[in-house]
Amino acid sequence: IDKAEAEQIKADYNIPSISTGDLLRDVVKGTGEKADAIREILNSGALVPDEIALELLKDRISQADCENGYILDGFPRNVSQAEAYDKILEEMKRDAGLVIVLDIDKEIAKSRISGRFTCPSCKRIYNINTGDMTPKKSGLCDDCNVELIQRSDDNPETYDERYNTYLEKTEPLISYYDKKGIVYHVDSSTSPSATHAQVVKILGE
């Protein structure tokens, strides 16, 4: 599930969407030894160790708003993380839920990535290359009327590198969950509304 679809499910089902990146950014906004340690790692350009990310994730899904389910956005990213996450779920006596894979052609995905913009205020996601996700006023959020921003790595050059990482690490992850019988594939090459309709059907079943 990508961020846009995660936000739609969050709104429809009233369950939280959890990103480990957001969890880390929230921590470094605070004070204390943990915040200082994570801030130092992020500032150095290094990757935060899985143990730290998993600890934050466990704390988050232990909260009351996750009792009826939650969406994981961008995690796990590899089989090692998935195995560690399975152990957390086992400790908490929870199952792994569903894994929904949004299948899309590489070039269509590149176009969408390079056209993606976000409202810094309400976090709504727009895409200037996708008809039903373009803002009504160019460069401005429909709801907040503030200037939209684009991630520095949302460009064609960086995309190729991220796609190769996906092939190397994420495809084996899909196979890992496929063996558990919980993987569902969705064709996301058409429109966001058609993609969401397929996801809703899977969740309803």
pTM over 0.75: no
Give φ, ψ of 30 to 5 degrees. Answer: -95, -160
CA distance 108 to 117: 16
Q: Which residues is 18 bridged to in the sheet?
A: 72
Local structure of residue 103 (DSSP, 8 states): E
- Using DSSP's 3-state secondary structure scheme, residue 140 falls into strand
> How much is the pLDDT for 1?
62
At CA 93, angle to CA 89 and CA 98, rounded to 5?
A: 55
Q: Going residue by residue through the chain (205 aa), what tens digit of pLDDT does each one get?
A: 667 777 888 888 889 999 888 888 888 888 888 889 888 887 776 778 889 889 999 999 999 999 989 999 878 988 999 999 999 999 999 999 999 998 888 888 888 888 889 999 998 889 888 777 899 999 999 999 999 998 877 777 778 877 887 788 788 999 999 999 999 999 988 887 888 899 999 988 7
